């Protein structure tokens, strides 16, 4: 027996089979429900259950406040209907771009810069991500953050880490070349600079989590924010760090900006022993008066939020983007 789902305010209808999440069912029927990671970590598919019942599966706890939960909010990629539902949810334009690869730029041992030229203007807000369809796998998409502000030449730059046996990243590091075409989704996501806050800024980036943080920093510099900005950038080994010279140059150009690289592997560092990301951040605190921007693995983000909260930081000042594996 399948369940009927009505989406408000559009009135669009689709069905879900038992065991399917609302998002899975929507995507299977080409209903363009707004979503991001599809694994409970980004919150882009947040909606509201207006009528009906279901089971809310696991998601990153900070995505919904207790008040939102009490008001019926749900993370729809992890919400499985147990009756017919009427939900409130956003739909997206299912718009796609074709983009030619302009350049592949090795940035570190396992990190590649990918420069693309979309076939028409590609609008985005610094901090957002796009999705790339994996070549040869129709309908299979991977999310990547845009690593800069919109540019006058219209190019789009990504920073991509090689995942072990990764469907897309293995192609990127082995087969893809300049001139090949990729299909892109529209930019999405809520991670962005909050320019009107009066607070100083703390940025924490792990691995390719640096990509949207660089975009947000470029935006802060372009707006001449006079708030102090601290960036801590962590990788496992020193050879996994990238853009260090660029970030050091930014620190020389912008007196309000400081940059601290860290590595967690003590055997591969010119610093005496390991200088791990979160302990280093906390040594340089206190941070409770800062606006915080975090990007990296869900584990790093949860650990950082927990640490900051235990040091009296207010959750309203935290902005984060979790790179959830697919």
Ligand X SMILES: Cc1cc2nc3c(=O)[nH]c(=O)nc-3n(C[C@H](O)[C@H](O)[C@H](O)COP(=O)(O)OP(=O)(O)OC[C@H]3O[C@@H](n4cnc5c(N)ncnc54)[C@H](O)[C@@H]3O)c2cc1C
Residues contributing to the site for ligand X (CB under 6 A): 36-37, 42, 129, 142-145, 158-161, 163-169, 208, 211, 321, 323-326
CA distance 236 to 142: 23
Q: 232 or 323, CB closer to ligand X?
A: 323
State phi, psi for 145 to the nearest 5 degrees. Answer: -80, 140
CB of 125 to ligand X, least distance (A): 14
CB of 213 to ligand X, least distance (A): 10
Length in residues, the chain: 326
Q: 40 or 81, CB closer to ligand X?
A: 40
CB of 83 to ligand X, least distance (A): 30
Give the residue at shortest CB distance from ligand X: 166
Yes or no: say if 115 and 177 are a contact pair by the CB < 8 Å rule: no
CB of 251 to ligand X, least distance (A): 23
CA distance 107 to 244: 10
CB of 113 to ligand X, least distance (A): 10
CB of 166 to ligand X, least distance (A): 2
Cα–Cα distances in angstroms (integers) from residue 91 to residues 14, 31, 117, 151, 226, in the given order: 13, 8, 27, 28, 37
Yes or no: say if 87 and 14 are a contact pair by the CB < 8 Å rule: no
Q: 136 or 179, CB closer to ligand X?
A: 136
Q: 169 or 280, CB closer to ligand X?
A: 169
Tokens of residue 24, six digits: 């899975």
Q: 16 or 158, CB closer to ligand X?
A: 158
Tokens of residue 253, six digits: 């150009």
Q: 72 or 325, CB closer to ligand X?
A: 325
Yes or no: say if 182 and 101 are a contact pair by the CB < 8 Å rule: yes
């Amino acid at each position: 027996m399948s369940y009927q789902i009505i989406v408000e305010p559009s009135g669009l209808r689709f069905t879900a089979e038992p065991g399917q999440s609302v998002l899975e069912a929507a995507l299977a029927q080409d209903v363009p429900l707004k979503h991001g990671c599809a694994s409970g970590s980004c919150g882009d598919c947040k909606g509201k259950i207006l009528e009906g019942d279901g089971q809310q599966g696991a998601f990153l706890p900070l995505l919904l406040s207790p008040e939102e939960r009490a008001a019926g909010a749900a993370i729809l990629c992890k919400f499985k209907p147990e009756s017919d539902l009427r939900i409130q949810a956003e739909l997206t334009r299912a718009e796609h771009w074709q983009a030619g690869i302009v350049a592949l730029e090795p940035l570190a041992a396992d990190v590649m810069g990918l420069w693309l030229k979309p076939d028409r203007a590609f609008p985005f807000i610094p901090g957002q991500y796009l999705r790339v369809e994996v070549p040869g796998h129709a309908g299979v998409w991977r999310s990547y953050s845009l690593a800069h502000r919109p540019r006058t030449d219209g190019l789009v730059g990504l920073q991509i880490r090689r995942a072990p046996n990764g469907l897309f990243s293995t192609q990127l590091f082995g087969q893809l070349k300049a001139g090949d075409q990729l299909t892109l989704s529209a930019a999405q996501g809520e991670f962005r600079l909050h320019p009107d806050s009066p607070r100083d800024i703390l940025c924490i980036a792990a691995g390719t989590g640096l990509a949207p943080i660089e975009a947000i920093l470029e935006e802060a510099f372009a707006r001449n924010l006079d708030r102090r900005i601290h960036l801590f950038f962590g990788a496992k080994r020193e050879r996994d760090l990238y853009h260090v010279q660029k970030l050091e140059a930014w620190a020389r150009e912008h007196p309000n900006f400081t940059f601290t690289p860290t590595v967690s592997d003590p055997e591969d560092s010119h610093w005496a022993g390991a200088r791990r990301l979160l302990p280093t951040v906390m040594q340089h605190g206190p941070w409770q008066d800062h606006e915080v921007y975090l990007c990296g693995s869900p584990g790093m983000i949860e650990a950082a939020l927990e640490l900051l909260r235990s040091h009296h930081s207010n959750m309203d000042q935290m902005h984060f983007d979790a790179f959830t594996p697919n």
